[in-house]
Structure 1
Amino acid sequence: MLLLRRFNGVRITSAGSVRLLSVKPIASVDDANLRCQEEDQSSYDQKAVCEALSCYSNDWQKALEFFNWVEKESGFRHTTETFNRMIDILGKYFEFDASWGLINRMIGMPQSLPNHVTFRIVFKRYVTAHLVQEAIDAYDKLDDFNLRDETSFYNLVDALCEHKHVVEAEELCFGKNVIANAFSLSNTKIHNLILRGWSKLGWWGKCKEFWEKMDTEGVAKDLFSYSIYMDIMCKSGKPWKAVRLYKEMRSRGIKLDVVAYNTVIRAIGASQGVEFGIRVFREMRDRGCEPNVATHNTIIKLLCENGRMRDAYQMLDEMPKKGCQADSITYMCLFARLEKPSEILSLFGRMIRSGVRPKMDTYVMLMRKFERWGFLQPVLYVWKTMKESGDTPDAAAYNAVIDALIQKGMLDMAREYEEEMIERGLSPRRRPELVEQSLEETLVTGR
């Protein structure tokens, strides 16, 4: 990415650290080149900056350096979306003071005013860190931003339910200290959020109790209610009950959307076999509901689980023809079932060439597979591809490559990766092989 190459080719100065990112002297760049670069830099757009920030999502310090650099050095004006992306990265590493610092910078800038998405991110990151009271306090501050409304309240409840704090969410909605003001808490949407929250916890008995409570209290069940409860039935090992709910929806005249159909296909595929899932896949198209990438992924996964790899590959080939591009999950469904390194590397190459960006989970999954089989070169190839793609490895990726190196007795190289991990603020697992080597080096050198 041109923008990242520009960033990596300059000297970055930030509070508490100076990082030299190029050996090319500044004096070698003449005025004409600088003017040319300034013209190029003015063409940086919001999408390019967001993509660059995503590459640094596992290194908040580098992300913040880039965020400040692109504004100071290239004249880019940050938008609400680029601020939100940076706030999300900071929140991921619990840098909440820095997050609020950016929010305060957003105030008074017409192109980057805080919006509902900004605080949805704040709620999510607080709750992910189990700082529930801080999330509630953030909601209470929204009067200052003219955003303390029903949408923000739903976002707060959604964040609590999404990250397994449904008990606190239910207390906010139906307990003694209700903070929703004039918002209706008897509506279907709030109940759907709470129902999904119990699902996230895997408390199937509580899900059933809440589902029946909705009927008792006269809460109307809509498409989303059924979709959530069908998903609960699938996850609780009762896909046939999900199929029964699907038939109930049909009898009530509820029109299914693509999300509901995806759940039905998964349920029928699990309970009655992949062919029945394919029948529903065809039915949804006949009824004017176009399958999305998740639909295709569901069918591909069912085919792979049934050992029908040729049919799975055929569907992968057909997806672009149907106007549906594969994503990293599509390929991960196939990777999970492949047992030959050559086939995996071939498919991985196809994935990269087709423009599908692997997620960090994809890299880790492949490195772990190769490590289990005792193949080091493919592990290093995946690692190299990840770095060349501009993706910053997380702790799981480092641990995968370190384990593969230790398996082959390459302790010096493993230690280098471990030290790199520590420099980035990541915590490596304790490994006796590396601890013993460190002790031996200390005894020999006397340090």
Structure 2
Amino acid sequence: MQLSIFLRRFNHLRTSFTSSIRYLSEKPISNLDDKNLQCSNYDQKTVCEALTCYNNDWQKALEFFNWVESESGFHHTTETYNRMIDILGKYFEFETSWSLINRMSENPISFPNHVTFRVMFKRYVTAHLVQEAMDTYDRLDDYKLRDETSFYNLVDSLCEYKHVVEAEELCFGKNVIANGFSVSNSTKIHNLILRGWSKLGWWGKCKEYWEKMDSEGVVKDLFSYSIYMDIMCKSGKPWKAVKLYKEMKSKRMKLDVVAYNTVIRSIGASEGVEFGIRVFREMRERGCVPNVATHNTVIKLLCEDGRMKDAYRMLDEMPKNGCQPDSVTYMCLFARLEKPSEILSLFGRMIRSGVRPRMDTYVMLMRKFERWGFLQPVLYVWKTMKESGDTPDSAAYNAVIDALIQKGMLDIAREYEDEMVERGLTPRRRPELVEKSLEETLVCR
């Protein structure tokens, strides 16, 4: 069953009932006019994709999650539970998340796994609830998952979301927890912390930590070099990344696709796109197959150099090379296009080819058209987003509201603002709408 039909079915049914948006009845829905709506041809992939569409509306996502199980007899798997828990965590609904984890534990096909708690670590740390994340790790004995993998996932989450100080203390501080395994000379742990300093943008600390790894005898692997090359590139020193690349080659280290992607970006930034393309050819000659990120890197370099025809040519060649373009591929091109007609044409191609735009893709396009003073393309992108089943976030609402205000359509802008509030999103304060509201109040009096 196609995802769009699946979502239309759910949205059709949910409008027929006035029960709580948070939980649906366990009883099956009956008396439907459309016999096609009685089928239950759902699979894990379709359910996960549908949940992703409701990523920006946890209540609707949870309603759907319960509906698909009670109405069709679909049995949720560990993966569908994990997707739902991730959405709940995004909105700090941790109590409900734990309720789902308890439900997972009751069924062997949905028992919590390492991914389940990696999601919990990530969402707790994103909310800056570091102690709660650590407490979650301590609870993993109940699920027989308090092991090295879970510990690495916890440290990774802390470093990924800018709590690297706490991560370093957890691994090497005075009160290191007893785990039954050692991380003092773990290359993987040091790589995670090095990347954590990079996330903070503390370039001096990155250099200090890189040298500390040498002084403490920590073996640097391919990932260590890839991380530090990326640091050099982001800190505005791509030539140093190129130097590291040459050092790796002198050590006869076999580069993987991640390392090559960083090298292509670094060389392209420091020596020009042609040198980046040479490395791209080199990696293929050495048997390292470029992935989507590799092609995106080259396309971005070509776009930044103004070589749009070459960028389009690579876009055309990607499927022939076994790489399907993704939303990032198209965003590289959108960023450089300056004609609305070209953007809409490429956007149409993106949709027809089956590439699902991310929410920031929609926002990027609406903002572009808004800056140029074009309202109709903004509304077209908004309509496409809604028809695709994607739930707009605050950035998307703000983009369409600003475009409407720019054209003086305050009443319609207010409708979108009210819709935001109904969904629990906080609109940005806009004098135009506030003044209009006050004026209407005075007239009414």
TM-score relative to the length of structure 1: 0.95
Question: Deviation string for 1:153-186 (max 9, x for gaps)?
Answer: 0000000000000000000000012125222211
- State how far apart, in whole Å, the 2-side matches of 1:180 and 1:92 are: 30
Shift of 1:28: 5.8
**Corresponding residue number in structure 2 for 1:343:** 342
| RCO higher in structure (CA 8 A, sep ≥6) | 2
**Corresponding residue number in structure 1 for 2:399:** 400
Q: Which amino acid aligns with 2:199?
A: K
**Corresponding residue number in structure 1 for 2:333:** 334
Aligned: 1:238 with 2:219: no
- State how far apart, in whole Å, the 2-side matches of 1:159 and 1:180 are: 20
Shift of 1:444: 1.7
Shift of 1:7: 1.1
**Corresponding residue number in structure 2 for 1:356:** 355
For the residue of structure 1 that corresponds to 2:72, the secondary structure is coil
Q: Which amino acid aligns with 2:46?
A: A
Question: Deviation string for 1:393-445 (max 9, x for gaps)?
Answer: 00000000000000000000000000000000000000000001111111122
- State how far apart, in whole Å, the 2-side matches of 1:52 and 1:333 are: 26
- State how far apart, in whole Å, the 1-side matches of 2:197 and 2:415 are: 44
User: Any gaps of 5 or more consecutive residues in structure 1?
Assistant: 20-24
Q: Which amino acid aligns with 2:78?
A: T
Higher alpha-carbon deviation: 269-278 or 435-444: 435-444
Judge conservation of contact 2:61–2:84 (CA < 8 Å) in 1.
Answer: yes
- State how far apart, in whole Å, the 2-side matches of 1:73 and 1:192 are: 47
Which aligned pairs between 1:134-283 and structure 2 lie closer than 5 A?
Answer: 134-185=132-183, 186-283=185-282
**Corresponding residue number in structure 1 for 2:7:** 4
**Corresponding residue number in structure 1 for 2:299:** 300
- State how far apart, in whole Å, the 2-side matches of 1:194 and 1:219 are: 13
Judge conservation of contact 1:166–1:194 (CA < 8 Å) in 2.
Answer: yes
Alignment size in residue pairs: 435
Shift of 1:108: 2.0
User: Any gaps of 5 or more consecutive residues in structure 2?
Assistant: none
1:130–1:18 CA distance, 2 compared to 1 (3 A)? closer
Judge conservation of contact 1:371–1:379 (CA < 8 Å) in 2.
Answer: yes
For the residue of structure 2 that corresponds to 1:307, the secondary structure is coil
Equivalent residue for 2:102, pick from 93, 104, 107: 104
**Corresponding residue number in structure 2 for 1:83:** 81
Shift of 1:213: 0.5
For the residue of structure 2 that corresponds to 1:196, the secondary structure is helix
Judge conservation of contact 2:22–2:60 (CA < 8 Å) in 1.
Answer: no
Coordinate RMSD, CA, aligned: 1.5
For the residue of structure 2 that corresponds to 1:9, the secondary structure is helix
1:27–1:104 CA distance, 2 compared to 1 (3 A)? closer
Question: Deviation string for 1:343-386 (max 9, x for gaps)?
Answer: 10011001001110000000000000000000000000000000
Judge conservation of contact 1:12–1:18 (CA < 8 Å) in 2.
Answer: no
Judge conservation of contact 2:197–2:205 (CA < 8 Å) in 1.
Answer: yes
**Corresponding residue number in structure 1 for 2:322:** 323
- State how far apart, in whole Å, the 1-side matches of 2:199 and 2:30 are: 53
Q: Which amino acid aligns with 2:313?
A: Q
4+ residue runs over 3 A deviation = 11-19, 25-30
Shift of 1:233: 0.3
Judge conservation of contact 1:173–1:180 (CA < 8 Å) in 2.
Answer: no
Judge conservation of contact 2:23–2:66 (CA < 8 Å) in 1.
Answer: no
Q: What percentage of residue pairs aligned between the two structures are identical? A: 82
1:210–1:18 CA distance, 2 compared to 1 (3 A)? closer
For the residue of structure 2 that corresponds to 1:268, the secondary structure is helix
